[in-house]
Amino acid sequence: MATLKTWVSVPENSDFSIYNLPFGIFSLKNDEPRAGMAIGDQILDLAAISDLGLLEVSAAYFRQKTLNDFIALGKKITNKVRLDIQGLLVSEKSPLRNHPEVFLFQKDATMHLPVHVGDYTDFYSSIEHATNVGKMFRDPENALLPNWRHIPVGYHGRASSIVVSGTNIHRPMGQVKPNTEELPSFKPSKNLDFELEMGFIVGKSTELGERISTKNAAEHIFGLVLFNDWSARDIQKWEYVPLGPFLGKNFASSMSPWIVTLEALEPFKVQGPEQQPEVLSYLKYKGKKNYDIQLEVGMSTQTSDETVISKSNFKYMYWNMMQQLAHHTVNGCNVNVGDVMASGTISGKVESSYGSLLEISWGGKKPFKLKDGSDRTFIEDYDSITIRGFAEKDGKRVGFGEVSGTIVPSK
């Protein structure tokens, strides 16, 4: 990775370095949402840069409230836009130096969902998470179900309730039935949880009947975001047999606003865990397909400043994104630009790397301490959860910013 220097002022340790340049949708007061690119603590107004004649893509693609049409132009074009802007931010003679009006401050902007999500799929690809959940929900001796090492298990989630970072989440009401009760009752969820996940945004559509191979999958992945798959464990536990999670999940999922392109993450590729037994041939892959992205979860409450309650890494995933996409389409299921496919909870081997409160508090049996000395098992009203993530190598940092959300009481 060549070293690049930009004439733009970028704070030290910024997630949005010259190596990153993620895409998002922002608005200023009284303005319509439009496309932007993050650099340091600023946003580049892509439509304004296009209006200057500095990009090969018409400003009309950037004056939209989602990135779908831009992404659908294809990687050849979207990568060129990103690299052209990188060039403009590096060149000392850049015409952008005479156009300060294309730079806006992130603190003045409201961020929106970057894409319209047609379909949302959630995988279950961390072996540590699947094992932990299996131990608690099912049989401690046979925690991992027989299909798990053969299939990147996934299920369809609700696209309509995906919200952008910063959106308050109402505690869901629902049916719960503790083991001690004979009949279910209707009440606010008591075991409200987060799930530390990452999601990828589909960048190239397929037709019904078409398959994506692990080899070609990268062409279909535009970029990644941080993802919090809020989960009401008590609702989930009662409802999920036999057809899977439903109301325990679909009240909300939160997404970080900046899509970090797969190309920006290229330098951070690493080998994934060994897969045993050998997978079927349509799931085999060559080369490094995992990504070394450091993740952390912070929890703050009405009484306590933020406490970091988990440190994990995207590289732990047993099943990688290429395998997920190959599996999802192996039966001919079609995908569309803007679809979101989330990883499932990303847990590591040690307790400090568990990606959900279900695991951290072991089903509520082991309360943990926050900074002010108070105890928690699950999320209480007005608690906030913030997920952060970044990759770093040779002093070069490519990060995601954060996805945060505060739980407010049931309506």
**The residue to which tokens 């989602």 are assigned:** 66
C-alpha closest to that of 377 among 274, 262, 233, 163: 233
Select from 27, 94, 336, 384 the one that contacts a copy of itself (CB under 8 A).
336
Q: How far apart are CA 348 and CA 310, in angstroms?
A: 10
Whether 129 is a known active-site residue: answer yes
| 151 near a copy of itself, rule: CB under 8 A | yes
| 156 near a copy of itself, rule: CB under 8 A | yes
Site for a copy of itself in 47-76 (CB under 8 A): none
| 159 near a copy of itself, rule: CB under 8 A | yes
Site string for a copy of itself, 377-406 (x = CB under 8 A): ------------------------------
Shortest distance (Å) from residue 128 CB to a copy of itself = 16
Q: For residues 99 and 116, which CB has a smaller minimum distance to a copy of itself in the complex? A: 116
- CA dihedral (192, 194, 195, 197) in degrees, to 10, reads 150
Q: For residues 66 and 250, which CB has a smaller minimum distance to a copy of itself in the complex? A: 250
Select from 79, 94, 131, 334 the one that contacts a copy of itself (CB under 8 A).
334
Q: How far apart are CA 86 and CA 94, in angstroms?
A: 10
C-alpha closest to that of 194 among 24, 409, 346, 374: 346
Q: How far apart are CA 314 and CA 342, in angstroms?
A: 12
| 251 near a copy of itself, rule: CB under 8 A | yes
Q: How far apart are CA 407 and CA 364, in angstroms?
A: 18
Q: How far apart are CA 257 and CA 245, in angstroms?
A: 25
| 157 near a copy of itself, rule: CB under 8 A | yes
Interacting span for a copy of itself (CB under 8 A) from 10-18, 132-140, 375-383, 396-404: 132-140
Beta strands in 189-247 (DSSP E): 192-193, 196-202, 221-228, 231-232
SS3 121: strand
The catalytic residue among 99, 112, 116, 129 is 129
Q: Residue count of the chain, please give it.
A: 411
Name 43's bridge partners.
38, 104
Count of residues near a copy of itself by CB under 8 A: 65
Select from 63, 99, 158, 190 the one that contacts a copy of itself (CB under 8 A).
158
Shortest distance (Å) from residue 262 CB to a copy of itself = 21
SS3 124: coil
Q: How far apart are CA 327 and CA 96, in angstroms?
A: 44
Cβ neighbours of residue 157 closer than 8 Å, sequence gap 6 or more: 120, 121, 122, 229, 249, 250, 253, 342
| 281 near a copy of itself, rule: CB under 8 A | yes
Q: Is 236 annotated for ligand binding?
A: yes
Binding site for a copy of itself (CB under 8 A): 118-119, 124, 134, 137-138, 145-147, 150-151, 153-161, 163, 170, 172-175, 177, 183-186, 208-211, 232, 235, 238-247, 250-252, 277, 280-282, 327-328, 330-336, 339, 411
Q: Which residues are annotated as a binding site?
A: 122, 124, 138, 195, 197, 229, 236, 240, 249, 253, 345
Q: Which residues are annotated as a binding site for Ca(2+)?
A: 122, 195, 197, 229
